[in-house]
Amino acid sequence: MSASAQIVLRKKKNSKGLYPLAIRITKNRRSSYKHIGHYIDLEDWDDKNLKVKKSNPDADNLNNLLSSKLSQVRKGLMNLQSENTDLSAGQIKRNIYKPASSLTLFDYAKEHLETIEAEKKINRLTTDTALTTYIWAFHKSKNLKFQDINGRWLKKFYTYLVGSRALSETSALNVFVLIRLLYNRAVVDKVVSKDIYPFGKGGFKIKFPDTHKIGLSKKEILIFETIDNLTEIERHSLDVWLYSFYFAGMRISDVLFTKWSMIHDGRLHYRMGKNNKIVSLKIPVKALAILKCYEIEKNGNDDFVFPEMKMADLSNPKDIYNKIKVATSKLNNNLKVIAKKIGIEKKVTMHIARHTFGNIAGDSIHPLMLQKLYRHSDLKTTINYQSNFIHKEADDALDSVVNF
């Protein structure tokens, strides 16, 4: 498929409430954007004819500029196509606007953030935007060439993150994961030679510390299932937690997005928000009991089972992200209160439902089946995850030595 280019108005307004004009380069249904540097009111944009309306006092100048910029890009596209160069939309943009030899980490970071924003991955956008701020704060400039990122630079940066910025080891390493991702892309694009690659064997190694995952026991789950001295909001929070647990630790975003239309033939059919995989699971009897409690609030087959997303603007990814974030915080606070009421000292959050399923499953379920239940893409991920909850062999070995 050949690449195309057109003028668009990005739907992300600035602090003044104005929207940026940009050129969108598309290839194989993936797009990359180059901002023109001018902003207009939303009502001043003619979405049908892709130009600035006369209602904008500077319409003629802006439209001339847009026409010129678009012509420049299309000329660049023709040159690249004549060279039979098979490039992505992002690579096309970089080739047109900037020589590869002068591309910096900032150029790649900017393109990365624009892409995940266009893909409406707001959670990832928020996280990665925050990670980039540490890089620019340390380097004190956005003009960071890939050739300057060597082992010494990476070690000094790590010291800065855990020292001056007081980040945990895990948080600090997440910044390096992003740098490595961008560096790998630069190597593929031949912006930097792989001969000076600073990561991996012989270079800077990104090794995350082991995390201690603790789930509830069967006894504690039984207490959760039979507790009755709860307020209405506490009861709801516990229902959501148990629902997640009954579906093998279903992620909170997928729980809150459960619709009645996803439930038929005794199964739950849904598309995972994290990796877009389609999942079909049998609905456990205990989960059916929870669903029955919420059926009284059902407002049509396309309605959400739980109330948190009923008022969300589903056309606005940021509103969805914010509502899930706020809901998760409230649920976790209520779960903390519930745990205190019944004397459970373990930390209980929505994510702990996933650890709890793993803890109770132990080594009694084959890893391939657990992979399916957890919806992991890679079996290694399942094995590494489940190893946190398998203790029997080590316990028996210990007993065999000390019990004499």
Structural domains in the chain?
1-96 (no CATH), 98-209 (1.10.150), 218-361 (1.10.443)
Tell if the pTM clears 0.95, that is, is over it: no
Decide if 306 contacts 256 (C-beta within 8 A).
Answer: yes
The C-alpha atoms of residue 127 and residue 146 are separated, in whole angstroms, by 22
End-to-end CA distance of the chain: 73
The H helix count followed by the E strand count for the chain is: 15, 8
> When comparing pLDDT for 377 and 311, which is higher?
311
Q: What residue type is 87 in one-letter code?
A: L
User: Is pLDDT at 179 greater than 90 in this prediction?
Assistant: yes
The most confident of the ranges 16-20, 88-92, 231-235, 398-402 is: 231-235
Return the half-sphere exposure (C-beta side, CA atoms, 13 A cut-off) of residue 286. 16
User: Is pLDDT at 160 greater than 90 in this prediction?
Assistant: yes
34 forms bridges with which residues in the sheet? 23
The C-alpha atoms of residue 172 and residue 12 are separated, in whole angstroms, by 29
Look at the alpha carbons of 316, 317, 318, 319 in this order and tell me if their dihedral is positive or negative.
positive
* Close Cβ partners of 193 (under 8 Å, ≥ 6 residues apart): 187
> Phi and psi dihedrals of 268, rounded to 5?
-105, 120
**pLDDT on residue 357:** 83
Residue-wise pLDDT for 82-140, tens only, equals 665 677 777 777 776 666 667 899 989 988 888 788 667 888 899 999 999 999 999 99
Mean pLDDT in the chain? 85
3-state secondary structure of 259: strand
Phi-psi group of 28: left, alpha or beta (phi > 0 → left; psi -120 to 50 → alpha; rest → beta): left
Q: Of 160, 182, 176, which Cα lies nearest the Cα of 208?
A: 176
The C-alpha atoms of residue 105 and residue 157 are separated, in whole angstroms, by 15
Look at the alpha carbons of 273, 87, 111, 29 in this order and tell me if their dihedral is positive or negative.
negative
**pLDDT on residue 174:** 95
Residue-wise pLDDT for 57-76, tens only, equals 888 888 888 888 888 788 87
Across 44-48, 94-98, 163-167, 209-213, least confident range: 94-98
Residue-wise pLDDT for 317-356, tens only, equals 889 999 999 999 999 999 999 999 999 999 999 989 888 8
Q: How confident is the model at residue 274 (pLDDT cuts 50, 70, 90)?
A: low
> When comparing pLDDT for 156 and 88, which is higher?
156
Return the half-sphere exposure (C-beta side, CA atoms, 13 A cut-off) of residue 295. 9
